[in-house]
Amino acid sequence: MRLLVKAAIVAGVAVSAAQAPAAAAPNPVNTVRVPCSVSALHNAVVAANTNAAVLRLAPSCSYNLTTPLPVITGRITLKGANTSIKRALSAVPFRILDVGLTGDLTVEDVFVMNGLAGTGDGAGIRNAGRLTLRRVTVVGNVAQTGNGAGLANTGRAAIRNSVFTTNLALAGNGAGIHNNGELHLTDSTVAGNALNARGAGVYTAAGRVTRIVRSAVNSNLSASQTGGGIASAGTTTLDNTWVRLNKSVGAGGGILVLPGGAVTLHRTGVRDNVPDNCAPANTVRGCVN
């Protein structure tokens, strides 16, 4: 009798398991190969804003934009292979990539080039949503009046193995990167950027957080004001990072701490900056002028 009861219980469990509905499979993300055509890229972004997609860009292609791409409002991955997305030099001013509040953009192995923001922030990339960069070079972008010639971030940005170089902000802060959100920069280089205001390499806005790990902020220039390498009105943490050979006309050739800001160094070298490494004096523990 006991054996029959046990058998009935086991059978009941088996039937219940068989009748239980299967867990819903995650929605697959479409992979779309985008030929070396600006119109094809434009159409692919429009479609991916509605249906999440990985857009495989043509290897060694230069997508020369004459008009801006659509704002990213969906979940999109741009996968390149020595691929460039750039504004044609004869085109009117516009930024290269613009991520809206609902956007979630990942970019891999792409050059983002020649963006020109006549007004507003972010000539290369403007992010208000979620942004992930891997092995991306943001180069030669110009912000005429706004902040963040390379990247203007007001959302969440995670950047790895990437380069921000020769970006120019004529009036705003943060020629390489202007962070007014949450920024994580890892294994990356911010070098050779220039502006007339503060934070030619990286600028952290008040109340915001920047974390820089195993990276280099080198050879950036503030031609008219202060903070050649980094300027922080928010919270900036540097871990195992170099800040070298930056220059500013005023104080803080390497690092400038603005009122209400804080900069913390862990295993980080701040050296060979002009006219000094850190300013105001004694605001960055471990920094020697």
Distance from C-alpha of 147 to C-alpha of 200, rounded to nearest angstrom: 10
18: left (phi over 0), alpha (psi -120 to 50) or beta: alpha
**Cis upstream peptide for 26 (omega within 30°):** no
Residues sharing a CB contact under 8 Å with residue 124, sequence separation 6 or more, in sequence order: 95, 96, 97, 112, 113, 115, 138, 139, 141, 149, 150, 151, 167
Domain boundaries of the chain, sorted by first residue: 28-279
Give the pLDDT score at 25: 45
- Six token digits for residue 8: 């009935």
* pLDDT greater than 70 at residue 2: no
User: Taking 50 as the threshold, does the pLDDT of residue 6 lie above it?
Assistant: no
Joined together, the tokens standing for residue 214 give 């195993």
For 119-129, what is each residue's pLDDT tens digit?
999 999 999 99
For residue 226, what are its two tokens? 């202060």
Task: Quote the tokens at residue 33.
Answer: 């190969």
Of 8, 58, 50, 46, nearest to 27 by C-alpha is 50
Backbone dihedral angles phi then psi of residue 27, each to the nearest 5 degrees: -65, 125
What's the whole-number average pLDDT of the chain?
Answer: 93
- What pLDDT, in 10s, does the model give residues 94-110? 999 999 999 999 999 99
Rounded distance between C-alpha atoms, residue 129 and residue 115, angstroms: 19
- Both tokens of 280, joined, read 């105001």
d(CA 106, CA 158): 9
Query: What H or E segment, with its residue span, contains residue 231?
Result: strand 230-232
Q: What is the mean pLDDT of residues 74-93?
A: 98
Cβ density class 196-219: b for 16+ within 10 Å, e for less:
bbbbbbbbbbeebebbbbebbbbb
pLDDT tens track for 27-58: 567 999 999 999 999 999 999 999 999 999 99
What digits encode the pLDDT tens for the residues 258-279?
999 999 999 999 999 999 999 9
pLDDT single digits (tens) 140-189: 999 999 999 999 999 999 999 999 999 999 999 999 999 999 999 999 99
Q: What gap in Å lies between CA 225 and CA 86, rounded to an integer?
A: 30
